[in-house]
Amino acid sequence: MPKATTVRFTDEMFGRLDQASARTGMPVNSIVIAAVLEWMERHTPAPGEPRLDVLPRLTVPPRWATLRRAVELAVGKRSAPGIYPFERFTASAQKLLTLAQAEALNASHSFIGTEHMVLAAFQDAAFQSAKILAALQVDEGAARKEIERLAGKHEGAVRKHIIPTSRVKLVIETAFRLSAAAGDPRVSTGHVLLALAAEGEGIGSQVLNSLGATKERIESEMDQLTEPEA
């Protein structure tokens, strides 16, 4: 009679399994089973049993394959946003978040929205996000006009401590998932931009997609980046 068991993995190990799934097209469960069978064959072979090549040699896929799989998983998991350490962002991504807050303050808004993050993505030419947007010929002025068209002008007193919207928290959570699934140690402005486009419902996502910065095109441009972000 078949027996079942439950195996729990750390986030890091599951991220590695998910990368293997993206590379091979095999479900995670199949990869785990194949790995177990290979281990058993190496360490506890049955008497007289010939050795089998359980896992074929894999070639490393283009980086976009991992990113695309990560986008699908990240956007599909709409769990409650978590709290992530600021130091897990690149210095550039930390600066982007600070600039997004400045954009909200300059607009006299009492919240930080995805539209503020999009505008911040343009502000430093060294940002991966700025390089990607430039490559896609997305202009900051056009983005500001589109944001004004979609959101209008908000009037009101600014709080002493403005807070990010729940949609911004979701974008940040998605950016963390993207970096982990792609095997990147820190969240870059490129991950943030990709998460903004992939989110699909916020003003930031609507603006990016309407100006041609779709998640597919951002993925493609990220694959062209050869240097890690500072």
Where along the chain do its domains lie? 1-61, 86-224
Query: What local confidence, expressed as pLDDT, does residue 135 receive?
Result: 95
Q: Are the CB atoms for 104 and 116 separated by under 8 Å? A: yes
* pTM of the complete model: 0.65
Which has the closest alpha carbon to 107: 162, 164, 153? 153
Instruction: For residue range 152-184, list pLDDT tens digits in order.
Output: 765 555 555 678 888 998 999 999 888 888 888
Place 188 in a pLDDT band, splitting at 50, 70 and 90.
very high
Is the pLDDT confidence value at 12 over 80? no
Tell me what the pLDDT averaged over the chain comes to: 76
pLDDT tier, 21 (very low <50, low <70, confident <90, very high otherwise): low
pLDDT at 146 over 90: yes
Which of 55-59, 149-153, 183-187 tops mean pLDDT? Answer: 183-187
What does the pLDDT read at residue 69? 56
93-119 pLDDT per residue, tens: 999 999 999 999 988 888 899 999 999
CATH of domain 86-224: 1.10.1780.10
Give the pLDDT confidence score for residue 119 in this predicted structure: 97
- Name which residue leads in pLDDT, 121 or 225: 121
Residue 76, both tokens = 């599909």
